[in-house]
Every structure is written in structure tokens, then in C-alpha cells.
């Protein structure tokens, strides 16, 4: 049951699982300077981290190591003095060959390949490429060195040629989506004979090569069917829907009304299908305002949609105006409707000149428009790129804080949390219904609605509740996972890629830090979700919308991530969880209360890893406490039994009272 975690997207450097291994070990010797013209080639010991581009560094390191490593002339001391800083592969390390999932097959095996680790130097071993993973193993040392990387994590593969000591050699740089780069080197003849580069490209990007993603071949059996976690009718029923103001509509049952919306949506009861179609024509991509969540007491609602197609001539739609009025009227507690536009005001103005736009107060007199000034997908992609540069492979300790600040990553996390807090506060304190949209309603809109719902509804803070939230607000409502992540696609420069879902999970992690007992799940749960966002092992995050998933038979031909997680809930549970029902969380959306998620973004650096995962340590302590409590209860029963027995034997003798033992552990 632990194999997906061990061999899937978290493929640790030096270990096979998502959990960071033990920290320790010394920093590799720092180079006195880079190689210059006329100087000797640098050695492994003199190269520590990139002084220029990743490619140039890789060329230098390959030139310094390839010939001697493959010929076996380098001693163990030169290979690594920091080996213990990286974890071994546990069960995987005991296997001679690469472990395979049900349905997985080996495509290439190459010996005498060198993995050039930025933390411990060069390691020689055997490389196995399957249709799911890249598996590198060195068995000459104890503990064994394991590198287990799902191919879905790979963003691009680049060839690097190098010649050293007259030996024609080849190198590959593998750029990953999970904040690390990998560098491999081997003899040129091995490349031409076995096609490592070609195999990696073919199986890391199956959709670009006319093949299916591995999730459709994965045949593991789990005792729980994760596809049954989310049922829209049951979830709306939990919220008290339908009611006199809201109905469950099947106008989109065949996805002809809106191809990116789910088959089942909730709309105002009084709205007719004909009017709804006119509203759809006035909203981008036909994404009309539909209900996401309703307050159980005030009946204030969160509805989501896309931008209105106002255009430069201020076009109006009476059906859309009446529709938003109906949403406001469904909440008797307020005579106002707040429209949260996630975009920057200037960007919304630009969209208006291109046919999009936003709601004007003249057309919607009872509505208040609020711009949240959140940047677009391109800005977020660039921010993550900058973050990756400062966390891998080396960290500049002297400039760490300023470097993190320069990425603006935490500032964007703050803006998302601040926007969600404003939405939650309008619902809870203001008892006012809100409409949330950005441009198309599937990126920033999903971030804001799901975060606000997480703050308002304690159910979503349970494991299965959070799974429901992701299935509902992200997967069913058409966040374009395939485009934003680039599953199986070799176009790494695609402008549609962006870390939108990653930002959402980061915001959730920030909330767990501020409210450590409010969430049933632990950090490993969140990291596992992100790892399998990329891995293509499960079908959960495949495709762009519900309609595509049915067309591709995702629900019948792949396995849900929740099948894996819910089959071993203890691994992902927070031991200090307290379920406070109807308790609203208002996280502090201030940079002074936010921090970089080191255990995710910097987990590949062995010097940054904790000695032991905190949740594991806590679980062990709680297990000891439970065992001691059992022993105390057993002793109490034994004392009580002896007291009764002694009283019976003495019969007519004066009564003796036994003092109960009361011990708390």
C-alpha cells in the first residue's frame, strides 16, 4: 500500500518516498572559482553549484567527471562525503531491479550511468526507464542510493554533449516541475545503442508522441473506490439544497449548455432555462453564475462565474441583470450583492476593450464591485520560476530573505488569502451574498471560492471534506489541469502553464500553520496531492473539465488518488485535530504571519530536511500515550476486581473500602 508514495511523484533524491529523509552531512567543498581558459579542468571536489547557467554548470561537471567515473577510477571518498545526508530507499533499496507497479513495463536499462548530484557529487549506477518512471540505483554502497522520479514530473529533457580526456561522452539535463533538476551522464555509445534520451522523451511526454498517460495502464487494486468520494447531489443536500430559493438544474446534463461546467449545477429556482441561456450568451465561455456554497443560517451564498461580455460599448443584458438581482433576493438578510472581481482593475479595463469587462453600478444598482487586484497566470508562472532558482540546487544563506522577497511568491499567497478572508467575512459577518469571478472563472475564481469555503465550513477541513472541495470547486468546475500542468506534453514553454492549484494548496498549508488543530489532514496529505498533481499515476487531475473526463473514460479506466489516500488514512491524519463544527477561520493574511513552505519547495536539499517528519514523531508519542492509558485502565480493573474478591472472602468481617486509582496520561 505504500508503493505509490514511495515510487510516485515524490521520488526523493536518495530515497523513494515523499517524506524528507534525515538531515545532516556537511556541505560539499566550495569551488575557489570557475574554470578559465588555459586552466585545468575542474574536479568533482571543486564544483559545488552553478556559477552561471544550469547548462554551463552541467557541462563543466560532466567534463570533470564523466570519463573517470565510467571507467571506475574515482574513489568512494571523491563520490560523496555527504551520503548519509540522503535517505535510503527502504524497501526499494532491497530490490535488485526497479520495482514495478501493476501495468508498468521497462523500456530501457543502462548500466554505468552517472547521476550528478549537486549535494553529494557524482554517483555511478544503473538507470532504468519505464513507461512511468526514471529509476536510478547505486548498489555498491550501504545504504543504497535510489533516485525514483515519475516521468510525469518532467517538464523538459535536454541533451548536453561533453568531451573529456578524449572520451566522447553524453549528458542529459532533466528539468522537473517539482522544483528540482536532474543531471545524468553516460558514454556516447551507450546513448546511440539504447536511446536513453529518446526513451525519456517518448515516455515522459506520451501525449506528444501519440500515446496514453500511464494512469490508463496503472492496475493497482485498492479496497476503497475514490471516485465515489464526491457526489454533487449528496454534497448539495448536505448544504440544505435544493430549497425554496435554489434548485438543482440538469440543463447541462449533456454539457451542451456549458462544456466546461459540471453536469449538475445549482441556480435560482425562479430562473427559466431560456433566460439562463441568454445569461450564458452574455458570460465568457457560457459560465453563468452558479451556487458554490450557502450559509446554513443566513442563506447568504457564494456564487461563481466568468466575466460579463460588456465590451467597449458597455453592452447590457437584462436577463443577466435580473439574474444577479434574483441571487441577491434569495438572501433576505441583505439588500446588497458584492461582486468580487479577482483581477486587477487595469487588466479588467483592458479585457473590456477586447469584448470582456465587468459589472457596472449603473446596470447593477444593488451590486458593489470590488477588485481584488490578483495578478494573472503569467505573473504567477514567472514568480514560481524565480522561486525555483533560489531554492535549487543551492541556497544563498546571506541573501535568503531578500531572495524570497524578490520572487513575490509569498506576496501573491497573501493576496489570495486576503481576498478569501474578505469573501468569508462578507458571508459570515455581513450576511451578504457574493459573486466571484475573474476572466474565465476557472483559475483565480476557484482559488478564492475554495479558500473561502474552507474558512467558512468545517466539513471541508476534514480529509474527505477536502477531497470533496477539490473535486467540486476545481475538478468538476473546469480548472484546466491538463493545460496548467502540461500532463504528457513536451511544450514546456506553453503560455497556458501556471501554478494555480499549487498556490491554492500553499494557502491551505499556511492556514494549517495558523490553525494546527483545525484540520484533520497533515502536511504529508497536501504534499502527496501535489506530487500526484504531476505524476500521472492517478486519473484525478487529468483533463481540463468533466466532459473531457467522461469522453476519455477517466472514471472507468483510471484510479482515483483518493482510493490510495483513503485506504491508509492514518498516514495522512493530523493527530491533534479537533472538529469544531460551525467554527469560522480567519487566517491572518499578513507577510509577518506567512512563511515559505520549506518542506515542499526545498525538500530536495538534504541540509534543509528535518531530522524526522513532525507528524510521524507526534503519532509515535500518541501511540505510546494510548498504550500507557490501556495499561492504567487494566490496573484499575485489576484493583477493582481484587477489592470485590477481598470483600466477598471476608464476608462478615468489617467492610473495607478500596481506593480507586485515577491516573491521567
pLDDT of residue 282: 99
Domains belonging to the chain, first-starting first, are 3-204 (2.30.29.30), 226-612 (no CATH), 614-649+657-665 (no CATH)
Strand, helix or coil for residue 616? helix
Chain segment 82-111, per-residue pLDDT in tens: 323 333 334 444 456 899 999 999 999 998
In whole angstroms, give the CA distance from residue 539 to residue 622: 35
pLDDT of residue 194: 61
pLDDT of residue 657: 46
Is pLDDT at 443 greater than 90 in this prediction? yes
In whole angstroms, give the CA distance from residue 409 to residue 179: 14
pLDDT of residue 646: 79
Q: Are strands 106-117 and 133-138 parallel, antiparallel or unpaired?
A: unpaired
Q: Highest-confidence range of 265-269, 333-337, 620-624, by mean pLDDT?
A: 265-269
Q: Which residue is catalytic, options 176, 305, 438, 507?
A: 438
- pLDDT above 70 covers a percentage of the chain that reads 80
pLDDT of residue 34: 34
In whole angstroms, give the CA distance from residue 438 to residue 372: 10
pLDDT classification of 55: cutoffs 50, 70, 90:
very low
Global confidence as pTM: 0.82
Q: Are 441 and 305 in contact (CB under 8 A)?
A: yes
Q: What is the mean pLDDT of residues 621-648?
A: 87
In whole angstroms, give the CA distance from residue 30 to residue 41: 16
pLDDT of residue 654: 54
pLDDT classification of 515: cutoffs 50, 70, 90:
very high
pLDDT of residue 120: 84
Sequence ranges of the binding site: 351, 376-377, 439-444, 484
Chain segment 550-598, per-residue pLDDT in tens: 999 999 999 999 999 999 999 999 999 998 888 999 999 999 999 999 9
In whole angstroms, give the CA distance from residue 591 to residue 413: 9
Is pLDDT at 80 greater than 70 in this prediction? no
Main-chain phi, psi angles of 321, to 5 degrees: -65, -45
pLDDT classification of 33: cutoffs 50, 70, 90:
very low
Residue 438 is a catalytic residue? yes
Q: Are strands 301-305 and 433-437 parallel, antiparallel or unpaired?
A: parallel
In whole angstroms, give the CA distance from residue 41 to residue 64: 6
Q: Are strands 337-341 and 367-371 parallel, antiparallel or unpaired?
A: parallel
In whole angstroms, give the CA distance from residue 442 to residue 529: 19
In whole angstroms, give the CA distance from residue 635 to residue 659: 13
Is pLDDT at 370 greater than 80 in this prediction? yes
Chain segment 162-173, per-residue pLDDT in tens: 555 455 678 899
Q: What is the mean pLDDT of residues 181-192?
A: 78
Q: What is the mean pLDDT of residues 62-78?
A: 38
Sequence ranges of the binding site for phosphate: 439, 441-444
pLDDT of residue 578: 93
Chain segment 249-289, per-residue pLDDT in tens: 999 999 999 999 999 999 999 999 999 999 999 999 999 99
As a three-state string, the secondary structure of 448-490 is: HHHHHHHHHCHHHHCHHHHHHHHHHHHHHCCCCHHHHHHCCCC
If we measure between CA atoms, which residue out of 591, 451, 480, 630 comes closest to residue 543?
480
Measured CA to CA in angstroms, residue 96 lies from 93, 123, 246 at distances of 8, 17, 60
If we measure between CA atoms, which residue out of 456, 448, 449, 451 comes closest to residue 430?
456
pLDDT classification of 520: cutoffs 50, 70, 90:
very high
Is pLDDT at 42 greater than 70 in this prediction? no
DSSP 216: G
H helices, E strands: number in the chain: 22, 14
Q: Of the given ranges (43-47, 126-130, 610-614), which has the lowest mean pLDDT?
A: 43-47
Chain segment 126-158, per-residue pLDDT in tens: 999 999 999 999 977 777 889 999 999 999 999
pLDDT of residue 144: 83
pLDDT classification of 219: cutoffs 50, 70, 90:
very high
Furthest C-alpha separation in the chain: 108
- Mean of per-residue pLDDT scores for the chain: 85
pLDDT classification of 177: cutoffs 50, 70, 90:
very high
pLDDT of residue 373: 98
Is pLDDT at 45 greater than 80 in this prediction? no
In whole angstroms, give the CA distance from residue 202 to residue 194: 13
**Omega before 242 within 30 of 0, i.e. cis:** yes
pLDDT classification of 51: cutoffs 50, 70, 90:
very low
Measured CA to CA in angstroms, residue 371 lies from 349, 417, 436, 513, 534 at distances of 11, 14, 10, 28, 32
Main-chain phi, psi angles of 122, to 5 degrees: -95, 140
**Omega before 320 within 30 of 0, i.e. cis:** no
Chain segment 220-251, per-residue pLDDT in tens: 999 999 999 999 999 999 999 999 999 999 99
Q: What is the mean pLDDT of residues 189-212?
A: 84
In whole angstroms, give the CA distance from residue 220 to residue 67: 41
Q: What is the mean pLDDT of residues 539-550?
A: 98
Higher pLDDT, 16 or 432: 432
In whole angstroms, give the CA distance from residue 52 to residue 49: 9
In whole angstroms, give the CA distance from residue 137 to residue 269: 61
Q: What is the mean pLDDT of residues 38-58?
A: 40
Chain segment 318-329, per-residue pLDDT in tens: 999 999 999 999
E-assigned strand segments in 210-296 = 246-249, 265-268, 290-294
Cell 490496573 -> residue: 635
Amino acid at each position: 500500500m505504500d508503493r505509490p508514495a514511495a515510487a510516485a511523484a515524490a521520488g526523493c533524491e536518495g530515497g523513494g518516498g515523499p517524506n524528507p529523509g534525515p538531515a545532516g552531512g556537511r556541505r560539499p567543498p566550495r569551488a575557489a572559482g570557475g574554470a578559465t581558459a588555459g586552466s585545468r579542468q575542474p574536479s568533482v571536489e571543486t564544483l559545488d553549484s552553478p556559477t552561471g547557467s544550469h547548462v554551463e554548470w552541467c557541462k563543466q561537471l560532466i567534463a570533470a567527471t564523466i570519463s573517470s567515473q565510467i571507467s571506475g577510477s574515482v574513489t568512494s571518498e571523491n563520490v560523496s562525503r555527504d551520503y548519509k545526508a540522503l535517505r535510503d530507499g527502504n524497501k526499494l533499496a532491497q530490490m535488485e531491479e526497479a520495482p514495478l507497479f501493476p501495468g508498468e513495463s521497462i523500456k530501457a536499462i543502462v548500466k554505468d550511468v552517472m547521476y550528478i548530484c549537486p549535494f553529494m557529487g557524482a554517483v555511478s549506477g544503473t538507470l532504468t526507464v519505464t513507461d512511468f518512471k526514471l529509476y536510478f540505483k547505486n548498489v555498491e554502497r550501504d545504504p543504497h542510493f535510489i533516485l525514483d522520479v515519475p516521468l510525469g514530473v518532467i517538464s523538459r529533457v535536454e541533451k548536453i554533449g561533453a568531451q573529456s580526456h578524449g572520451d566522447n561522452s553524453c549528458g542529459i539535463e532533466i528539468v522537473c516541475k517539482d522544483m528540482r533538476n536532474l543531471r545524468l551522464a553516460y558514454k556516447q555509445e551507450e546513448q546511440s545503442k539504447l536511446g536513453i534520451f529518446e526513451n525519456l522523451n517518448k515516455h515522459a511526454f506520451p501525449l506528444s508522441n501519440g500515446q496514453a498517460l500511464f494512469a490508463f495502464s496503472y492496475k493497482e487494486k485498492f479496497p476503497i473506490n475514490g471516485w465515489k468520494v464526491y457526489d454533487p447531489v449528496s454534497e448539495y443536500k448536505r448544504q440544505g439544497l435544493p430549497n425554496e430559493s435554489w434548485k438543482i438544474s440538469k440543463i447541462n446534463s449533456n454539457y451542451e449548455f456549458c462544456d466546461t461546467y459540471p453536469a449538475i449545477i445549482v441556480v435560482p429556482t425562479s430562473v427559466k432555462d431560456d433566460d439562463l441561456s441568454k445569461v450564458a450568451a452574455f458570460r465568457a465561455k457560457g459560465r453563468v453564475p452558479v451556487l458554490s456554497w450557502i450559509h446554513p443560517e443566513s442563506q447568504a451564498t457564494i456564487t461563481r462565474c466568468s466575466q460579463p461580455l460588456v465590451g467597449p460599448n458597455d453592452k447590457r443584458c437584462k436577463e443577466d441583470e435580473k439574474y444577479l438581482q434574483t441571487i441577491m433576493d434569495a438572501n433576505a438578510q441583505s439588500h446588497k450583492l458584492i461582486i468580487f472581481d479577482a483581477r486587477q482593475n487595469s487588466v479588467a479595463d483592458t479585457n473590456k476593450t477586447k469584448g470582456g469587462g465587468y459589472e457596472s453600478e449603473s446596470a447593477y444598482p444593488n451590486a458593489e464591485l470590488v477588485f481584488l487586484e490578483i495578478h494573472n497566470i503569467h505573473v504567477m508562472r514567472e514568480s514560481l520560476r524565480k522561486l525555483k532558482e533560489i531554492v535549487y540546487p543551492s541556497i544563498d544563506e546571506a541573501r535568503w530573505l531578500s531572495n524570497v522577497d524578490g520572487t513575490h511568491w509569498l506576496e501573491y499567497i497573501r493576496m489570495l488569502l486576503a481576498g478569501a478572508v474578505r469573501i468569508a467575512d462578507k458571508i459570515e459577518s455581513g450576511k451578504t451574498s457574493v459573486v466571484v469571478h475573474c476572466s474565465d472563472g476557472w483559475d483565480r475564481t476557484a482559488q478564492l471560492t475554495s479558500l473561502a469555503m474552507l474558512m467558512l465550513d468545517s466539513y471541508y477541513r476534514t480529509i474527505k471534506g477536502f477531497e470533496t472541495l477539490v473535486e467540486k470547486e476545481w475538478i468538476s468546475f473546469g480548472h484546466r489541469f491538463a493545460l496548467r500542468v502540461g500532463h504528457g506534453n513536451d511544450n514546456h514553454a506553453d503560455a497556458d502553464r501556471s501554478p494555480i492549484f499549487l498556490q491554492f494548496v500553499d494557502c491551505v498549508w499556511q492556514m494549517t500553520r495558523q490553525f494546527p488543530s483545525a484540520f484533520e489532514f497533515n502536511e504529508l496529505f497536501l504534499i502527496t496531492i501535489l506530487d500526484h498533481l504531476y505524476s500521472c499515476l492517478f486519473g484525478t487531475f487529468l483533463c481540463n473539465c468533466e466532459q473531457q473526463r467522461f469522453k476519455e473514460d477517466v472514471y472507468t479506466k483510471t484510479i482515483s488518488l483518493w482510493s490510495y489516500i483513503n485506504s491508509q488514512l492514518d498516514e495522512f491524519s493530523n493527530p491533534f485535530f479537533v472538529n469544531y463544527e460551525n467554527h469560522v477561520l480567519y487566517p491572518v493574511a499578513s507577510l509577518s504571519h506567512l512563511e515559505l513552505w520549506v518542506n515542499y519547495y526545498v525538500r530536495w536539499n538534504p541540509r534543509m530536511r528535518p531530522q524526522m517528519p513532525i507528524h510521524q514523531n507526534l503519532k509515535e508519542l500518541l501511540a505510546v500515550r494510548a498504550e500507557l492509558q490501556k495499561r492504567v485502565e487494566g490496573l484499575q480493573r485489576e484493583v477493582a476486581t481484587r477489592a470485590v474478591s477481598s470483600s466477598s472472602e471476608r464476608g462478615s468481617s468489617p467492610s473495607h473500602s478500596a481506593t480507586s486509582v485515577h491516573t491521567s496520561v
